[in-house]
Structure 1
Amino acid sequence: MIINSIRMGLVASALLLSGCNEAGYPEHLQVQRIDQSDFQALLIAPKTSEEAIPTVIVLGGSDGGLGGAKATAQALAEEGIAALAVGYFGLPNLPETLNSIPLEYFDAALNYIDTSTQLSRNQCQQVPVIGSSRGAELALVLGANFSDYGPVMAISPSSHVWGAMGDTKASAWTLNGEPLTFVPRHSKPDYSAQRFVGRGYFQQDLQHADAAAARIAVDSIQAEVLLFAGADDQLWPADEMAQAIQTQLATAGLASRVTTTIYPAAGHVIAPGLPSNLTEATLGNSQTIVLGGGPEANAAAQQDILRRAVAAIKNPVCFDSKSSFNNDKLGELEQFLQTTGTSSMVLMRAGEVVFEFGDIHDKHTIHSIRKAMLNSLYGIYVERGVIDLDATLAELGIDDSTPLTATEKTATLAQLLKSRSGIYLPSAATSKGMLAAMPPRGEFKPGEQYIYNNWDFNVAGAIFEKLTGESIYTAFHREIAKPLGMQDFKGRYTTIDDDTDISQLEVDGFYQYEPEKSKFPAFHFRMSAYDMALYGQLYENFGVWNGQRILSRQWIEQSTTSYSLTNRYMDFGYGMLWNVINPNDKRPHRAFFHTGVGIHMLGVYPSSDLVFVHRVHTETDYEFDQQNLYSIIGQMFGALEMPES
């Protein structure tokens, strides 16, 4: 390790002296010290009568004990999570320093959780783990070597294994009694400097060829990976190492598993619960260790990390993408597709097409899947503060050819997106099936009942254009199609009438007015199967594309949460402009999809790293039996082969 044990230990002491080891806890938290011969930890959890509380393992950094870890654990406990802060050196019955720590030691933490009546693994049968600095390195190493941990959350992380503290020839970690390969020390730190900045020394050592052997095998992590780093980290180059991890996973075809968040003005100490003003630490010899960042930037990063970590812990994604496709069965699927009337189909993983059928670049109408396309635009403009989902139709000045009642005008924009407005009026592009399912006007108040209703969706599109001042198609092209590199969607649009031959259109979208029903048009999208698959991949990536965040993870989770049960037998629901496959005892993971006239489909299956698109050329005469779509889906999943355990 570049910075020696004395200096790292004193930095840890500075953390404690700065207030993250304060005595006493609020009454609404239960705190239990675990002092066993082979295990040292502190459990901080909310007081609750629930049988199973979401549980996370928290790992501190260079202090190794419980100081920094318990501060983060308390912050998580305040959010309704049971946090087990685990000490791994510098405590009774443990090694004195960070030197040759057996990774098997952390089995005791898993065992403690597994034998507890209140603590539990998540639905992926994993335990989330979060660590900072050397604790982040440890979290990634644990995830890379054991399938029990996930999601893996690394704050101020390392892409490589580093050496022991105070012993340049020893490894910090061992596995099966053997030391893990670590980055050898080549740089020569100037420990006499009055203000010591470690970042450059780590950068020098990472540039040596022998550092490659110490790279953490993050592509072996069977869980979601969340990386958080400050660009002004002066202790080590956490931002560069986080980006290196992201590149490593992308190269392995696992880009959808990692979310990297870089905070431009933040430093090294950005773990929730730690003092945000810890930008440097003064040692006993009056030497200053520079940590970087500023109090405001560090605090903002800590708040954001806490929010993202809580969401990942409470809503984990279970991955099985170590599976592969059986080529013989895909061949059988292709033969079946030739008999069905399918025009095109795409299976996509990590942005790559792994199976295709037909002309996947042929554009035609996507029907009701248009609603899922609108979802991303709402997510972007809600995040920007342009759109308020709690705004009512009265506040937005919305009325129709058939005037709305005072009660109907109390419906919120969020209720429109959930198709729970309680407004049952004629609308453009309404099918006979929709009309047959429509209750009498006034039977339900806003928010009381889910009714799949084109009035809600058409008005949601009109409100978007009113609040943003531009066409849906123009916004979609700029905000979504161009960043994703869609090949076929160009943002061109028109308005059709009853005489328009849609099959002759070259545009990407069109408005359909039916003024005898409503003054609000339906907004239709014409897209290729390939571009639709890219769109699904954006959601598969939790809103990140090529390292840039386009949609917030919070929005994706919010809009793909089921607010209405739509199919009790299948346990399907409706979120906001997405159908949701709810997790249950038979399937521990959530997926989401949208269909068009029952035969087009865009499906996103995060647990399988899979996006599915099925198309039928419905702008021309066609024949397709809806039952065949179910057979296609069954054969698709039947072609997946799980690895042997």
Structure 2
Amino acid sequence: MINQSNMQELETIITKDCGNIAGVVILKDGETQYEHYFNGCTAVSRIHIYSVTKSIISILIGIAIDKGYIADIGQRVLDFFPDYIPKQREKTIQNVTLRDLLTMTAPYKYKFAPYVKYFTSDDMVTFSLDLLGGRGKIGQFRYTPLIGPDILSGILRNATGQSVFDFASEHLFRPLGITVERSVIFHSKEEQMAFNKATDISGWAVDPSGTNTAGWGLTLSPVDMAKLGQLYLNGGLWNKKRIVSAEWVSESTKEHSRWERMSLSYGYLWWIHEDGFAAMGDGGNVIYVNTKKNLTVAIASLFKPKVTDRIEFIKEYIEPRFEDCKE
């Protein structure tokens, strides 16, 4: 059984040191052992999970491969966009593959991300394609938080013939009992900023062309996040139903590239740590999976710059409290 005094101590630490946390859900051996909310949030609150969205895109790519919509990740990116004509005659973009996008080893033409132009673009996929390639070397890790991942949304859309939202709803969200109500389009900067802070919007950001964002823009509850982590801890099974292949889960959560400057390992849009893997987003949003301890931790957080490292927080304050937890 859980030691209640231990959990009260944890909640005190969260309030003191991680004041922007909205909710925490902890699963041990597939069972919910702890669920608690902060900052006025509840189980029905929906939080913008920022870059955790990338890992959901990775799951969807795996499902699309399983279903035969995508042959393999060795396919060239431009094969999915037959009508796209690169603005400049350069060879690099011709050789970028789906694998390069998934492992953050694709080069881009920008040195400083043109965020204003990106957020005001009518077609974020084409905008990102226009910046793909350049003089950089394919295979070198370059983490691109926003401008670049949307190409994966375009690939999913073109390969499946469905919007990313519809494909995800059919093959991932509904089977796991996750509710994402609608695509959300912003008509102003103010609407987008309000979305970032909201706790009552269930949706996925979409650009004016109708394509859902890949690097940010999805809102979920901590329970939803925990389900996605548990799905991967289960090797792609949910309630004995195959959602995504075990092979994809295994490959996604192995090191395929590395951010040397930060000493971080990367899989297919999942961060790899010594005991498992994690999806991480701005503000301290995280889906953390420890495969050795059969533990899943989901933390949803209201946006705040420069938060404490959530992985270190989990390892120091959460994992020790569940060392001997039994069903």
Q: Which amino acid aligns with 2:80?
A: L
Q: How does 1:90-169 map to 2 (within 5 A)?
A: none
**Inter-partner Cα distance in structure 1 for 2:182 and 2:323:** 41
Check if 1:540 corresponds to 2:233.
Answer: yes
- Determine the structure 2 residue equivalent to 1:640: 322
Q: For each residue in 1:483-522, what CA deviation from the matched residue of structure 2 results, as whole angstroms up to 9, or x when unmatched?
A: 1122xx2341122132423138634211246x9xxx9873
- Structure 2 CA distance, aligned partners of 1:392 and 1:441? 12
What aligned pairs does 1:131-530 form with structure 2 within 5 A after superposition? 325-339=2-16, 340-358=19-37, 359-388=42-71, 389-397=73-81, 399=84, 403=88, 405-425=90-110, 426=113, 442-446=134-138, 448-453=139-144, 454-486=146-178, 489-498=179-188, 499-500=190-191, 501-502=194-195, 503=198, 506-512=201-207, 522-523=213-214, 524-530=217-223
Q: Kindly tell me: are residues 537 and 366 of structure 1, through their superposed partners in 2, closer, same or farther at Cα, counting changes over 3 Å?
A: same
> Which is further off, 628-637 or 411-420?
628-637
More strand by share: 1
Structure-2 separation of matches of 1:402 and 1:603: 40
- Mapped to 1, the partners of 2:58 and 2:134 lie a distance apart of 27
- Measured in 2, the distance between the counterparts of 1:423 and 1:362 equals 36
Q: Offset of 1:428 from its aligned partner?
A: 5.7
Q: 1:565 aligns with which of 232, 255, 258?
A: 258
Q: Deviations over 1:378-409 (max 9, x none)?
A: 11110122113222133222648855733212
Cα shift at 1:443: 3.8
Change (3 A) 1:400 1:366: farther
CA RMSD of aligned residues (A): 3.1
The aligned amino acid for 2:321 is A
Contact 2:47 2:199 in 1 (8 A): no
Compute the displacement of 1:335 (Å).
Answer: 1.4
State the Cα distance separating 1:473 from its structure 2 match. Answer: 1.5
Structure 2 vs 1, CA of residues 483 and 638 (structure 1 numbering), >3 Å: closer, same or farther? same
Question: CA separation of 1:616/1:401 partners in 2, compared to 1, >3 Å: closer, same or farther?
Answer: farther
**Partner letter of residue 451 of structure 1?**
R
Q: Which amino acid aligns with 1:527?
A: L
Provide the rounded CA distance (Å) in 1 between the counterparts of 2:257 and 2:273: 11
Distance 1:612 1:424, change over 3 A: farther
The alpha carbon displacement at 1:325 in A equals 5.0
Separation in 2, partners of 1:557, 1:477: 23
- CA 550–628 in structure 1, closer or farther in 2 if over 3 Å, else same: closer
- TM-score, structure 1 as length reference: 0.42
- Give the CA deviation at 1:560: 0.9
1:603 is paired with a residue of what secondary structure? strand
Deviation (angstroms), 1:427: 6.4
Alpha-carbon offset, residue 350 of structure 1: 3.9
Q: Which secondary structure state, in structure 2, belongs to the residue aligned with residue 627 of structure 1?
A: coil
Per the normalisation by structure 2, the TM-score is 0.79
Q: Is the 8 A contact 1:418 1:563 kept in 2?
A: yes
AA partner of residue 183 (structure 2): Y
Change (3 A) 1:441 1:412: closer
Alignment CA distance shift 1:336-1:393 (3 Å)? same
- Confirm or deny: 8 A CA contact 1:580 1:593 kept in the other structure: yes
Structure (1 or 2) with the larger CA radius of gyration: 1
Q: In 1, Cα distance between the equivalents of 2:26 and 2:200?
A: 27
- Measured in 2, the distance between the counterparts of 1:511 and 1:403 equals 27
Q: Are the counterparts in 1 of residues 276 and 290 from structure 2 also a CA contact under 8 Å?
A: yes
1:417 and 1:428 mapped to 2: Cα distance? 21
C-alpha separation in 1, matches of 2:207 and 2:200: 14
2:126 alignment counterpart: none
| Aligned counterpart, 1:614 | 299
- How many pairs were matched up? 294
- Could you tell me which runs of 5 or more consecutive residues in structure 1 were left unpaired when the two chains were aligned: 1-323, 432-439, 583-589
- Deviates most, 346-355 or 360-369: 346-355
Q: Distance in 2 between matches of 1:356 and 1:553?
A: 28
Write out per-residue CA displacement over residues 185-228 of structure 1, whole angstroms, 9 at most, x where no aligned residue. xxxxxxxxxxxxxxxxxxxxxxxxxxxxxxxxxxxxxxxxxxxx
For the 8 Å contact 1:369–1:594, the answer to whether it is kept is: yes
Change (3 A) 1:527 1:352: same
1:338 aligned counterpart, secondary structure: helix
Match of 1:394, as an amino acid? Answer: L
Inter-CA distance 565–451: structure 2 relative to 1 (3 Å threshold)? same
Once residues 345 and 637 of structure 1 are traced to their aligned partners in structure 2, the CA distance between those partners, rounded to angstroms, is 13
Q: Which amino acid aligns with 1:396?
A: F
2: distance between equivalents of 1:566 and 1:580? 11
Give, as a single letter, the amino acid of the residue that structure 2 aligns with 1:337.
I
Aligned amino acid, residue 292 of structure 2: S
Identical aligned residues as a percent: 22
> 1:450-477 deviations in whole A, cap 9, x for unaligned?
1011333110111111111111121111
* Aligned-partner residue type, residue 391 of structure 1: Q
